[in-house]
Amino acid sequence: MTSSLQQLNARIQQEATFIQELLAETQRIIVGQERLIKRLLIALLCNGHLLIEGVPGLAKTLTVRTLAAAINVHFQRIQFTPDLLPADLIGTQIYNPRTGEFTPRLGPIFANIVLADEINRAPAKVQSALLEAMEERQVTLGAETHFLPEPFMVLATQNPVEQEGTYPLPEAQLDRFMLKVLIDYPNRNEEREIMERMTGEPLEPARAVIETATVQRAQQVVHHIYVDERIKDYVLNIIFATRAPAENGFKALQPLIEFGASPRATIFMLRAAKANAFLDGRGYVTPDDIKAIAADVLRHRIIVTFEAEAENITTEQIIQQILTRVAVP
């Protein structure tokens, strides 16, 4: 067992060598946002989708565009607005009067990385069209089914401040996103670096440092990262603490949680932990990997009660309590 684990570890270290080059190219243009960049890579390695929440001007679009350029994939940005239609997203069929036939015109969702900017600005029909494509990875136009390209990842953003004229995502649809990442303002040193870069000579655009095949091979390798049975039990203990707090030693949290995390959370937590280990060049998952990504997996899946809202108790506080008190293997 030890010998095979050492071999796996050596293989992962070799396969993950491109990560540093990819991070270096991304950080050549992006100042700070290390957490966001790593979460983007985790979602990419796991073939998952990411929801990003932050105020305007934090380089969300620039970060995603830079990553797409660095891995040499097709990128599309879609600005979600109240008058957007599903056909504007997935495409439609165009009638040709000469032939009397309909021909498909594929929409902007047919890209490797799709940025759905301000997803909560679009009505429910558009959100549903996007989320169906995310889940099924295909779009049906008329009688024809069109498969989305590989790799395929949706990155959606939403503004937590301005809520007027928005259509909040239902909890069942939020569950489709592997991770929800919160980003904040840069610190003073980062802000100064941003000021220097953006007011000086124009930066050279991001260049492709790896090919799509490298990403797809890494996605397959991540599946083989070793997870001990005790780590799996650790994940289950965290998940079940959100569903039945009183039965799992968290009696004080029982009146604060309306609904706990779904089975998707269990799956995504383990997948994300494997990807986090891959980023560190390890062939095995540790409890620290679970702790590192737990909040991003859980924050949009735990629904608090009115009592918790009345007492200003947030989902973040509940997650922190659970992570602090669940026994670490």
156, 236: one domain:
no
| Those residues with Cβ within 8 angstroms of residue 194's Cβ, 6 or more apart along the chain or in another chain | 31, 32, 186
Higher pLDDT, 100 or 163: 100
**Does residue 280 sit in helix, strand or coil?**
coil
212, 250: one domain:
no
Choose the final residue of a domain: 201, 217, 233.
217
What are the pLDDT digits (tens) for 184-200?
888 888 888 888 887 87
278 pLDDT band, cuts 50/70/90, is very high
Backbone angles phi, psi at 95, to 5 degrees: -85, 130
Helices (H), the chain: 2-15, 17-27, 34-45, 60-70, 86-90, 124-136, 171-174, 188-199, 212-222, 229-243, 263-279, 287-298, 306-310, 315-325
142, 239: one domain:
no
97, 241: one domain:
no
175, 255: one domain:
no
pTM: predicted TM-score of the whole model, two decimal places: 0.88
pLDDT, average across residues 81-108: 84
Q: How many C-beta neighbours within 10 Å does residue 5 have?
A: 12
pLDDT, average across residues 265-280: 94
What are the pLDDT digits (tens) for 101-122?
778 888 899 999 999 888 888 8
Residues 268, 269, 270, 271, CA torsion sign: positive
- Contact between 107 and 150 (Cβ < 8 Å): no
Choose the final residue of a domain: 193, 217, 241.
217
| Those residues with Cβ within 8 angstroms of residue 247's Cβ, 6 or more apart along the chain or in another chain | 240
- Which residue range is the domain that position 298 belongs to? 225-325
Cis bond before residue 202 (omega within 30° of 0):
no
Q: Report the distance separating Cα 199 and Cα 234, nearest Å.
A: 48
Residue 111 corresponds to which amino acid?
A
pLDDT score recorded for residue 22:
87
Token reading at 146: 């069109």
pLDDT score recorded for residue 1:
56
4 pLDDT band, cuts 50/70/90, is confident
Residue with tokens 């498909």, as numbered in its chain: 104
277, 300: one domain:
yes
pLDDT, average across residues 8-37: 84
Choose the final residue of a domain: 160, 195, 217.
217
> With 80 as the cut, is the pLDDT of residue 303 above it?
yes
84, 211: one domain:
yes
7, 86: one domain:
yes
134: domain CATH number is: 3.40.50.300
Which residue in 179, 238, 208, 200 sits closest to 112, CA to CA?
A: 208
| Those residues with Cβ within 8 angstroms of residue 26's Cβ, 6 or more apart along the chain or in another chain | 37, 63, 66, 67, 70, 206
Residue 134 corresponds to which amino acid?
M
What are the pLDDT digits (tens) for 289-299?
999 999 999 99
Which residue in 21, 116, 31, 108 sits closest to 72, CA to CA?
A: 21
170, 281: one domain:
no
Per cent of the chain over pLDDT 70 is 97
> With 70 as the cut, is the pLDDT of residue 3 above it?
no
Q: How many C-beta neighbours within 10 Å does residue 247 have?
A: 11
The H or E element spanning position 210 is: none
146, 245: one domain:
no
190, 306: one domain:
no
* Number of domains within the chain: 2
**Does residue 73 sit in helix, strand or coil?**
coil
24, 149: one domain:
yes
272: domain CATH number is: 1.10.8.80
